[in-house]
Each structure stands twice: as structure tokens, then as C-alpha cells.
Structure 1
Amino acid sequence: MDTRFPFVDWFRNSSPYINAHRGRTFVILIEGEAMARGRGEQLIQDLALLHTLGVRLVVVFGIRPQVQLALDEAGIEPLRHDGRWVADADIMQCVQRVAAEQRLWLEARFSLGLPNTPLHGVELTTVSGNLVMAKPLGVREGIDFDHSGEVRRVRTSAVQGLLDRGSLVLLPPLGFSSTGEVFDLDASEVAQHAAMALGADKLILLGEADGLYDESGALQRQLTPGEAEPLLAQAVAGSESARHLAAACAAARHGVARTHLLSWHNHDALLGELFTRDGVGTMITQHRYEQLRPAELGDIGGLLELLEPLEHRGMLVPRSRERLEHEIDDYLVIERDGMVIGCAALHCFGEAEMGELACVAIHVDYRGGARGALLLAGVERRARRLGLTSLFVLTTHTAHWFVEHGFRPSGIEALPPLKRDTYNHARKSKILVKSLA
């Protein structure tokens, strides 16, 4: 009887990320729609788990839909301009009441520790307060925004002190001034400034969308601010997309290593993004220190330098410059600071619905990590898009690695006819096949 549990494999594979995230500072924005739609409970459980694993958490919460409901019930129609409402005295009364109610609800849920509940045995202290200083938006285009404000500064030393003591810091979309006033703030702006002030390792924005998509509808896994800003220019002013993109781009340009755009609709988004290799959303980062991408003709020189030592050792069949130029569209490369440090090729045999995984190579200085698996995953994604049902590989030195990644030893009869006819019997390469079903 098969007693394997998929969770156990996932948990084993997550250990490098658990180690990497311990002691790191994450600023996480949860938009008000997530709470309004009943997603708060599970998000709190995920946040408590991150806290237990040693992540330093600053949680910013939005309240827009809750305030809008309160305004509707009070019969108040706010004046809106450029994506913000004008927070007069009546609106601010609703904003402050809703923010207090939401903060108290979050604190209560983080305190839940009954037996048979996910937070049983978790001692989690949450702290909020006058940690964000604000200033009024003032008069813009003839509109006096009254108590609608913008972030002046985050009280960094106070927040750091709370994090150092093991507290989870809650930040509402409110700011305080030296004149004793309270201002309504944009939650994404609060999250952005908190991440920048703290030098956070990650800014995570949980909104409606799964991330950013290209013109063909494919999810963009990684973008620089320069690549994301054209999308910002197209977004509707004041929309969630515009607010999140503006926060992500600004944070990336001011030292926040990674900003992640995720959907709160996806119950696995937060943990899936943080503890799996491929993630689930879009990451915006200032520098692409290392990236997996399709090869280009300009990579030929780097490919030759990468492959030559392996060819001399007999691990790879020699490939000429002309052959690489002819087959360049088949290749994926890992580039690090302008240097090709890894590659793999997918040669298609469409009539057999099979693909050959070929020329898998990692620079000697960068072995021992997960780059080989990253290349394999990239080739598998490409193969599936092309409608292939299986991959095969011919290898003389690394059969065990391929077996560890789901390939099974096969005979020459498993190869497509064309590859079978050109098989080099003198080389005696082992044949391994992996189903993509």
C-alpha cells in the first residue's frame, strides 16, 4: 500500500527556504477585500506560521471596502479625485472607527490558541501604535483633501525595537502628525514606506490579481521596475493595480530586494511564493542578478566557454559555433551578471510527441545548488507548451541525477525513430525517459 504523503515531499524541499527566511524582515500588505471576503482566518494562520519560523513581520492592513460599507450605511457619498477620497470630518470618523475595529479583530485572531486550532501553543504578541507619521495631501488641482494624507516617515527605530523583541507589528492605513491630527493613508503607500525604511528583505502585496501578465496572457514571474513601469502608466489612477505597481517599483528603486505581487484569492499564494522554487506570483526586483531566459545569438560565446570543458571531459558531445547558432532557439540559459553560467536545450520530435533534453551544463563555480533543477523545470514548461508528452535524455555521466528528477531507464526502442537511427552505439549513452503527463 502506498502511504506517501505529497506534503512530506513539499516540506523536505522547503527546508532551504526556511533557513533563508529565518531572521529576515518581511512587510506584508493585506488589502481590505481579503478580510471582507473571509480570507482573514487562513492568512492569519499563514502569518503565524511565518512568525514561528523566525520571520520578522510587519503587517499592513487595508480597510477600503469596510469604510465604503460604513459610508453607504451612513448615507455619505465621498468626493473622489485622482483615485483618493476627500476625507472630511464625517469620513474620518468612519475611517478611524473601522481601522480600530479591524485592528482589534486582527489582534484577537492572532491571540487564538485553543486546542485543535492552528495557533494552539503559539505565543504571538502584536503591537500597533503611532508608528507612521503623516502630512496632509493639501490642496491639489483646486481640491482640498482635508484629512487625506501621505506618509512623511516611518518611526524606524521604534518598529525595529518591536521586531527585535519578537513582536508582530500591525500598521493600519493611518498616519499621525506633530500637530496631533490623524490622516487617512493609502495602505500600499504605508507598506512601501515601511519596507523602504526598514530595509526589508521582502515587500509582499496581497491583492486581487495573481500578478502581472504579458500581452499573450502569460504570468510574468520576474520584472525590473523599468519593465513594470509601462504597465503602471496604463493602469487606472487609484486602482489597486496602479497602487501596488507604484509601491513595488518605488520600493525596488529604494533598496527593497524583492517585491511580490500575489492574490489573496489563492489560498496557497503566500506560502507557495515563499517556500517553492517557482513561486506563484510576480516578483519585481531592481537587479536581475541571475535569471533563466531563452538563449540569444549574443550568448554563443558564453555557451562555447561553458561547454568546452565538459566536451573535453567527454561529458558532452562537441558542438560547433555553427551548430549552436542554428539551434539557438532550442536553448535556455541561466545568466548571472551578464555571464552564462548554465544552459539546457530542448530538441523537439513532434511526430512522436517527445522532446530531447540535451546539453545540460552548469559552470563549475556554480554547481551544488538548484540550477540544474531550475533548467529542467524550464525545459519541462516549454515542452508542455509545445504539446509534448515526454522527455528523453542521453547521458554517460549523470544518469543518477536524472533518475532523482523523475527519469526512468529505457531502451533504444523508446527513442523517436529519427533519434534511434542516429544513436551513437560507440558512445553507449544511457537512455532515460520522463513522462510529462
Structure 2
Amino acid sequence: MKSNDWLHGFRHSSPYINAHRGHTVVLTMPGDAIEHRNFINIIHDIALLSSLGVKLVVAFGARPQIQSRLEDAGQESSFANNLRITPDEQLPLVMEAIGGLRAYIESQLSMGLVNSPMHNARILVSSGNYVTARPVGVLDGIDFGYTGKVRRVDARGIEQLLELGHIVLLPPMGYSPTGDAFNLSYEDVGSQVAAALEAEKLIVFIDDEGLLEEDGALIRELSARQAADRLASNSVTGHDAALLKAACNACVKGVRRAHIISYAEDGALLEELFTRDGSGTLVSGDNYEQIRQARVEDIGGILELIQPLEEQGILVRRSREMLETEVDNFVVAERDGTVVGCAALYHYPEEGAGELSCFAVDPNYRRAGRGDEILAMVEKLARGKGIQKLFILTTQTEHWFRERGFLPAEVQELPGPKLATYNTQRNSKVFFKPL
């Protein structure tokens, strides 16, 4: 029998396709990725994203290409503080290597062979002097010459090209008002451009599947705060530290998500953007808002949030004593120290089920996606507990849950302990969602 796995995956990718259409995604790609045999698949995936309406900026590096060009010319490379020193006499060679790589990437994005995924893609690629740079200068007595840092990004100029449907290609070069060119870190370019554009996502390509723990396990998710802690403790070192710092800086400056994924794994980019679990390491901004496990000190905020809903009969009344006993079951959305949303998860292990309960969002934040983010957090926790299906009892919000995959069910389908306490006077409707 023919497998329809592709059909199931394609259908279930549609919410992610809709979520990314019209949004800006910045791809940060090292020179090693461009030399890798999987690069052609990344090109195909970039073409697919463009055809789906994603606005794309590609910031690329050229370190191995620069190294090769300098060696061919009999020049030695010098590094300090993980930065290449670019003396005056080497700048033309650096520009030559970067220029050649830029032309190669443009040629790959221009393919249109009938038997390839690029057929009829007709991608427009633009580049230019959108990054203003300044010299690194002298550090610890070392003159870095024409090695620079990003000073300013012409966000409006890039946005105009994105609105026209162009892919914007940014080399690791920046220019100064004095007419000088500077060799830049591609991580710095990608991070600063993503922040200036207020991009939805920053994608950082790496040789591993993502950031790894010391035992080789994949780090699935970090908040910007956790990422900063790892950097401060030197638990992430070398080039990985530079990549994590770029992701962290972008999130702190307003980019919602940064994803660190493999350039060697075919389809990693699509898997990260269009599937629920993704493929690499997610770094999320949390400088002023976060969704987390509830703590005892959150009880006052939860009570203040749910009291109006209890008075309207939407939620079952809970006393402070009950909340203190069950606080470990709660997650909260916190913004600037204030609880703006909450939900509870109760586990029924014998039935492999979990109850989503006491779901509340501050009215001022209901149209900003907080409810969906809280639901996603609860579903993640439920899967971690081995829960196979989630259920809710509701009297007034059934359509919100039905729109998010909950299906109507009979009261008798409730887990035994929950069925025994079902309040027939409230006559709540029951909905289940498979996980």
C-alpha cells in the first residue's frame, strides 16, 4: 500500500505556512555551509520559502574562502579575540573572495532547470551597501586594520526590496561614510539586520544539529536569559559561543525567535519552520515576557486574573488554599512582573489523559496570541509527561478550543476520577484533543 506520510505532513504544515507568509526571516549562513554538499538542498528550500511568501534575507560568511584565497596568494592569516585581522594589503584579497562567493550564491539562486525544484522559481536577488560599518580599531594593543563591526543597517532600503519580492543577499562586508570597506563577522551582520528589520525569525546555520550539551544531547530550547547565562559561565565556547551570542542579541533586541540548525542535514530549515517540534535549538526572547511554571508568589496574580471569570460562571471557583496546594500544576504568562495569563494541567496517568483547566488570559492581551502560547506550553508539558490526549470542560469558550483542534466528546468519555466529580448542574461540554 502506498504511504501517505507526505500528504499528512503537507496538510499539517499549512498553519505554519500561513504563520510565516509575509513575515521576514533572516538566514545566517557560514562559508562552510556554502561548500557543503547539502548547500544545493538549502538553495532549493530557500526557493520554496520564497514561493510561499516568506520575506528572506541571507547573510553569508566567507571564512574558508578568504583563508583559501590568502593561502593562494602566499599570505598568512592572523587572528585575535576570535576575529580575523585584516591589514591593508589583504583587504583586496578578502573582497575578491567575498565577491566571488556572492556571485556563486546568486548563480545558484538563479537556476531554473526543468528537472529541478528551481524550475519556474524566477527568484530576484538583490544586494548592496545596506550595512554601514566602523573599524574594530585597536584592542589590547592589536590593530585589526580593516576588520569592522556593524554600525548601522538601512532597514528601510532592505524592506523596500523585500516588498518587491526580492531575496536580499548580504555579504560580510560593510562600508563607511569615508568610502572604506570593512571585513565583518557574518554573525554580527545577521543578528544586527534581523533586529533592525524586527524580523520574525533569525536562522543560524551550524555544522551540528544544533547546540549540544557536554554529553552530546541536543539543547532543544533556551530563553535569551538562559543563553546569556551559558555564555557568562563559558559552558558554550568557540564558534558556538559566537553563534549563540548572535542569536541571544537578536532576541534581546526584539526578534521573537532564533533557531540554530544544521546546514548538513537535508530539510533542517523546512523542519524547523514547518513542524511542531523543529529540528535544532530554539532561542526565544524573554526580556519582558515569559511563559513558565507557576510559583507560590504567583498565586495572588492568578487569583486576581481568574476572579472576574469565576464571577461570570466561566471558571469554577478556587480558593487561595486550593491554589497553594495545586500551584505546581499551573503555568503562567508573566509580563513585566505581572501575571497576564494562566492554565493548569492535571494528569490522569491510567487513561493517558490530561485535563486543561483554569485557562485565563487578561482581556488586554487576548488578541495578542497569549492564549495560543499558553496552550502550546501546556501541550509541551503534557507530551513530556507521556499524556496522549488533552481534554477540557467548558461552558462558554467551546469555539476557541474547537478552532485549535479540540473535538467534542461525550461526558462518559472522561477519565473515571473526573467523571465521578462531574458537576451536572454546570452541564459543561467536553472536548478532547489528541497529542
- 1:65-111 per-residue CA deviation (whole Å, 9 max, x = no partner) reads 33345556777653322112333577556533332221111111121
Q: Which runs of 5+ in 1 are unaligned?
A: none
TM-fit CA distance, 1:17: 1.7
- 1:171-212 per-residue CA deviation (whole Å, 9 max, x = no partner) reads 211334566654332111223343455565654433346666
- In structure 2, the CA distance between the partners of 1:214 and 1:329, relative to structure 1 (3 Å rule), is farther
Distance 1:374 1:318 in 2: 24
> 8 Å contact 1:133–1:175 — kept in the other structure?
yes
> 8 Å contact 2:223–2:283 — kept in the other structure?
yes
Aligned positions of 1:205-224 closer than 5 A: 205-208=204-207, 219=219, 221=221, 223-224=223-224
Distance 1:396 1:131 in 2: 54
Which residue is equivalent to 1:247?
246
Which residue is equivalent to 1:95?
94
> Secondary structure of the equivalent of 2:317?
coil
Which amino acid in the other structure matches residue 104 of structure 1? A
Distance 2:382 2:195 in 1: 40
Distance 1:378 1:237 in 2: 26
Distance 1:318 1:431 in 2: 19
- In structure 2, the CA distance between the partners of 1:31 and 1:357, relative to structure 1 (3 Å rule), is same
Which residue is equivalent to 1:145?
144
Distance 2:398 2:161 in 1: 51
- In structure 2, the CA distance between the partners of 1:187 and 1:432, relative to structure 1 (3 Å rule), is closer
Larger displacement relative to structure 2 (352-361 or 2-11): 2-11
> Secondary structure of the equivalent of 2:123?
coil
Distance 2:364 2:152 in 1: 43
TM-score (norm 1): 0.78
> 8 Å contact 2:86–2:146 — kept in the other structure?
yes
TM-fit CA distance, 1:61: 0.5
Which residue is equivalent to 1:231?
230
> Secondary structure of the equivalent of 1:14?
helix
Which amino acid in the other structure matches residue 415 of structure 1? P
TM-fit CA distance, 1:117: 3.1
Which residue is equivalent to 2:59?
60
Which residue is equivalent to 2:285?
285
Q: Pick from 258, 261, 268 the counterpart of residue 259 of structure 2.
A: 261
TM-fit CA distance, 1:381: 2.2
> Secondary structure of the equivalent of 2:315?
coil
Distance 1:413 1:167 in 2: 53
- In structure 2, the CA distance between the partners of 1:419 and 1:149, relative to structure 1 (3 Å rule), is closer
TM-fit CA distance, 1:15: 5.6
Distance 1:435 1:10 in 2: 14
Distance 2:148 2:367 in 1: 50
RMSD in angstroms over aligned alpha carbons? 4.1
Q: Which runs of 5+ in 2 are unaligned?
A: none
> Secondary structure of the equivalent of 2:193?
helix
- 1:208-248 per-residue CA deviation (whole Å, 9 max, x = no partner) reads 46666799978464634x55333233448983333234334
Distance 1:323 1:7 in 2: 42
Which amino acid in the other structure matches residue 384 of structure 1? R
Which residue is equivalent to 1:325?
324
> 8 Å contact 1:214–1:220 — kept in the other structure?
no
> Secondary structure of the equivalent of 1:387?
coil
Indicate the percent of aligned positions where both proteins have the same amino acid. Answer: 39
Larger displacement relative to structure 2 (181-190 or 228-237): 228-237
Larger displacement relative to structure 2 (6-15 or 406-415): 406-415
> 8 Å contact 1:59–1:171 — kept in the other structure?
yes
- 1:22-59 per-residue CA deviation (whole Å, 9 max, x = no partner) reads 2x554432122222223332333333344445554432
Distance 2:213 2:295 in 1: 20
> 8 Å contact 1:125–1:166 — kept in the other structure?
yes
Which residue is equivalent to 1:334?
333
Which residue is equivalent to 1:9?
11
- In structure 2, the CA distance between the partners of 1:209 and 1:229, relative to structure 1 (3 Å rule), is farther
Distance 1:178 1:432 in 2: 62
Which residue is equivalent to 1:308?
307
- In structure 2, the CA distance between the partners of 1:126 and 1:428, relative to structure 1 (3 Å rule), is closer
Distance 1:10 1:386 in 2: 23
TM-fit CA distance, 1:62: 0.8
> 8 Å contact 2:195–2:255 — kept in the other structure?
no
> 8 Å contact 1:407–1:433 — kept in the other structure?
yes
> 8 Å contact 1:207–1:240 — kept in the other structure?
no
Larger displacement relative to structure 2 (68-77 or 302-311): 68-77
Distance 2:101 2:115 in 1: 25
> 8 Å contact 1:294–1:332 — kept in the other structure?
yes
Which amino acid in the other structure matches residue 355 of structure 2? E
Aligned positions of 1:132-211 closer than 5 A: 132-154=131-153, 159=158, 162-163=161-162, 166-176=165-175, 182-195=181-194, 202-208=201-207
- In structure 2, the CA distance between the partners of 1:219 and 1:184, relative to structure 1 (3 Å rule), is same
> Secondary structure of the equivalent of 2:346?
strand
TM-fit CA distance, 1:426: 5.2
Distance 2:124 2:24 in 1: 16
Distance 1:107 1:119 in 2: 13
> 8 Å contact 1:203–1:256 — kept in the other structure?
no
Distance 1:128 1:10 in 2: 35
Which amino acid in the other structure matches residue 17 of structure 1? A
- In structure 2, the CA distance between the partners of 1:385 and 1:12, relative to structure 1 (3 Å rule), is closer
Which amino acid in the other structure matches residue 305 of structure 1? E
> 8 Å contact 2:132–2:151 — kept in the other structure?
yes
- In structure 2, the CA distance between the partners of 1:435 and 1:166, relative to structure 1 (3 Å rule), is closer
Distance 1:135 1:309 in 2: 55
Distance 2:247 2:4 in 1: 43
